[in-house]
Amino acid sequence: MKKPNVIVFFTDQQRWDTTGVHGNPLGLTPNFDRMARYGTHLEHTFTCQPVCGPARSSLQTGMYATATGCYKNGIPLREDLPTLAHYFNEHGYETGYIGKWHLAATRTEPVPEHLRGGYKYWLAADSLEHTSDAYHTVLYDNDNNSVKLPGYRVDAMTDAAIRYIDEKKKEPFFLFLSYLEPHHQNHRDDYPAPLVYRDSYTGRYIPPDLAALNGTAHQHLGGYYGMVKRLDEALGRVMDALHSLDLAENTIILYTSDHGSHFKTRNAEYKRSCHESSIRIPTALYGAGFTGGGTVRELVSLVDLVPTLLDGAGVAVPEHMQGKSVLPLLHGNKEGWQEEVFVQISESQVGRAIRTQRWKYCVNAPDRDPVKDSGSDRYVEQYLYDLYADPYELTNLIGMESHRPVAERLRDRLVRRMAEAGEAEPVIEAAPVQAHGQRKVYEHEWMA
């Protein structure tokens, strides 16, 4: 049997609750929703680092950002680290990359070949938000020639992807399609939707966390939703192209994002926090081995998606990878699966967090520089949320006497996860005690 093709459909800064399967009422994502229903929906998926470059380093290598060395933006991915492209190259695949790279630190300059992560075909820019605009898409080809593509940026890149698929249809191929949308346009701090959707979604639906907190949602959410709508239309076009070329059932498609957006409600920008709005992402797979996989409710990290793609394509997963393939979960084998996801945070703070089915626990290193320091030997408790009672994280329980036993157990689990990720075990100081809180949490309740 022919090796399955593999496509990564990668968005930037997309909240999980922009999708219909996660309750968004605006009908923005019929193609993603169909993919989730008929393929495999990883319902609880989280980034391992809510910053563009670090998250991308993890999705290329299957390792946490402190292990790749790309713990913040502006650090090139080490040339000695094998990426998805290297593994697929070794197994006879044609490999291509289209869109935003953000792993070379060349910013607006073309990415030299030795910093392209091993991809054979190249039509990309290191920092696409700085080389392009919504209707001015500029990428660089294999020879580092500037290429301006016509149309709205999502459409221009989708056109390029469909051309690549058509050209490589007779060979097994691995295509990483990395959009900028729905990320903001940096130079004017705006979310430029396609013109047809410019005013279509303004004021129509605001998620509870954004409605409750001050931020830029009222200004930006309409454009953001319009960008999500066009991304979903692009997904439909890619799926249609695969069907027309008789490739649909032998092509694995992964749809995911690098992180979410909290619209300046949690800090002075859009991400870089432990909150659901920043770390939870929409994720589904379809095609060979994943069609009919159903809904996976276990907690999945971005770092798990690399071994999942390799496993799905029949490529052995290297032992050094820090994530795990989700394929066993599709067959009911949950043995050894993680009970929490681990998150590293940089640039806004030196932070660490874990998220269980019920709890969110986050610590901060107040004495460390969030840009210069990748980690710390000392942290202080910062956040504790009960996601059953407070899914949009509006009540911070850290320091509450009623929840001290919960925090202590979560602290131990966080320290263990940090050590497993290759970090030194730190000291985590308890938050100052607050006398008031919700009712006492009993032993049989805290573990959920």
User: Along the chain (448 residues), what's the average pLDDT of each consecutive run of 10 residues?
Assistant: 93 98 98 98 98 97 98 96 98 98 95 98 96 96 97 98 97 97 93 95 95 94 98 98 96 98 94 97 96 97 98 96 97 94 97 98 96 96 97 96 95 98 97 72 53
Are 241 and 162 in contact, with CB atoms under 8 Å apart?
Answer: yes
Q: Which CATH class is domain 349-446?
A: alpha beta
DSSP 156-211: HHHHHHHHHHHHTTTS-EEEEEE--TTS-BGGGTB----GGGTTTSTTT---HHHH
How confident is the model at residue 434, as a pLDDT? 85
Residue 316 burial (10 A CB sphere; 0-12, 13-18, 19+): exposed
d(CA 107, CA 103): 9
Task: Give dist(CA 410, CA 320) in Å, integer.
Answer: 26
Separation CA 345–CA 360 (nearest Å):
14
Contact 14, 281 (CB under 8 A): yes
Asked if 21 and 316 count as a contact pair (C-beta separation under 8 A), the reply is: no
Cβ contact 13:260 at 8 Å: yes
Distance (Å, whole) CA 145 – CA 254:
29
Q: Which CATH number fits domain 5-330: 2.70.150.10, 2.60.120.330, 3.40.720.10, 3.30.930.10?
A: 3.40.720.10
Q: pTM for the whole thing?
A: 0.96
pLDDT at residue 441, rounded to an integer: 55
Q: Which two tokens stand for residue 431?
A: 């938050």
The packing angle between helices 217-244 and 30-38, to 10°, is 60
Long-range contacts formed by 334-338: CB under 8 A, 24+ apart: 334/298, 337/298, 338/298, 338/299, 338/301
**Crossing angle (nearest 10°) for helices 305-312 and 52-61:** 30
Residue type, 441: V
Query: Where in the chain are the domains?
Result: 5-330, 349-446
> To 10 degrees, what angle do helices 217-244 and 153-167 make?
20
Instruction: Give long-range contacts, CB 8 A cutoff, 24+ apart: 372-377.
Output: 374/66, 374/71, 374/72, 374/346, 374/350, 375/66, 375/71, 375/344, 375/350, 375/423, 375/424, 375/426, 376/350, 376/426, 377/424, 377/426, 377/427
State residue 98's pLDDT score.
98
Backbone phi, psi, residue 381, to 5°: -60, 140
Closest Cα partner for 116 from 132, 130, 95? Answer: 95
